[in-house]
Structure 1
Amino acid sequence: MWTMSSYDYVVAAVKNVKETLKDSPKWKMPKNAPTPMTSAYEPKMDGSSELGQEDHTYFQELIGILRWATEIGRVNILLEVSLLSQYQAAPREGHMEQALRNHLSK
Structure 2
Amino acid sequence: MSYGPPPPPQPPQPGSHPPLGPGLAIAALILGLLACTFPLLPFNLDRWRQFVAFPPAVGGLVLAIGACTGHRRAKPLAVIAVVVCVLGLGMTVFMVAGRA
Q: With a CA cutoff of 8 Å and minimum separation of 6, indicate the structure with the bigger relative contact order.
A: 1
Question: Which structure carries more helix by proportion?
Answer: 2
Give the TM-score normalised by the residue count of structure 1: 0.32
Over alpha carbons, which structure has the higher Rg? 2
